[in-house]
């Protein structure tokens, strides 16, 4: 993600969205155990290494988001897929959630950035909603700041990646 010159960026309040240390959730990040699968850890470490390389020009706030993502991954308990507690959102999970303000429900699949396609409801791990959902569980309520205000959702249901459903 390349940063735009300041004159080309909208004059919006920049608020961090990445993970629990930047998201105001019902539980605090220090008392909530999060899980990351070995497979997701590898994918995210590769992604973080790529987007933080000198080849990418990142704005200061973008760099902070990525550092927050890295910190969350570092504090996570790394488990094999077979040992992951039921209902935890991973990459390739399908998630049904409810907007707590409007009551509207939505269903998305969390994917790596190169697979994202909003028309197919494939949401990037780096999108604000993607980073908010990652590593949370069914029943969790969370909120985070977006330029238009505070977004609050509740995770209603999580389906594992398709390849795990058959196992």
- 167 assigned to some structural domain: no
Alpha carbon distances (Å) from 79 to 64, 76, 116: 26, 9, 25
- Span 8-24, pLDDT tens digits: 433 332 333 333 333 44
Q: CA 145 to CA 1: how far, in whole Å?
A: 21
Report the CATH number at residue 73: 3.10.50.30
By CB neighbour count within 10 A (0-12 exposed, 13-18 middle, 19+ buried), where does 18 fall? Answer: buried
- 27 assigned to some structural domain: yes
pLDDT at 74: 84
pTM: 0.73
- 33 assigned to some structural domain: yes
- 31 assigned to some structural domain: yes
- 9 assigned to some structural domain: no
Do 64 and 83 touch, CB atoms closer than 8 A?
no
- 123 assigned to some structural domain: yes
Taking only the tens of pLDDT, the chain with its 167 residues reads: 444 333 443 333 233 333 333 344 333 344 567 899 999 999 998 888 877 676 666 555 556 556 667 777 888 899 999 999 999 999 999 999 999 999 999 999 999 988 999 999 999 888 778 878 888 899 999 887 666 788 899 999 999 998 755 44
Structural domain count of the chain: 1
- 6 assigned to some structural domain: no
The pairing of strands 35-37 and 149-159 is: unpaired
């Amino acid at each position: 993600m390349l940063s735009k010159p300041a004159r080309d960026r909208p004059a919006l309040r920049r608020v961090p969205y990445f993970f629990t240390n930047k998201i105001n959730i019902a539980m605090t990040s220090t008392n909530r155990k999060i899980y990351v699968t070995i497979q997701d850890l590898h994918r995210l470490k590769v992604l973080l290494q790529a987007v933080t390389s000198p080849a990418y020009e990142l704005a200061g706030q973008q760099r902070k988001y990525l550092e927050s993502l890295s910190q969350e991954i570092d504090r996570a308990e790394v488990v094999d897929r077979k040992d992951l507690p039921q209902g935890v959102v991973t990459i390739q999970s399908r998630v049904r959630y409810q907007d707590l303000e409007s009551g509207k429900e939505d269903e998305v699949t969390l994917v790596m950035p190169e697979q994202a396609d909003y028309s197919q409801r494939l949401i990037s791990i780096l999108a604000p909603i993607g980073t908010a959902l990652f590593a949370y569980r069914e029943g969790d309520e969370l909120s985070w700041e977006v330029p238009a205000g505070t977004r609050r959702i509740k995770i209603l249901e999580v389906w594992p990646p398709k390849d795990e459903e058959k196992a």
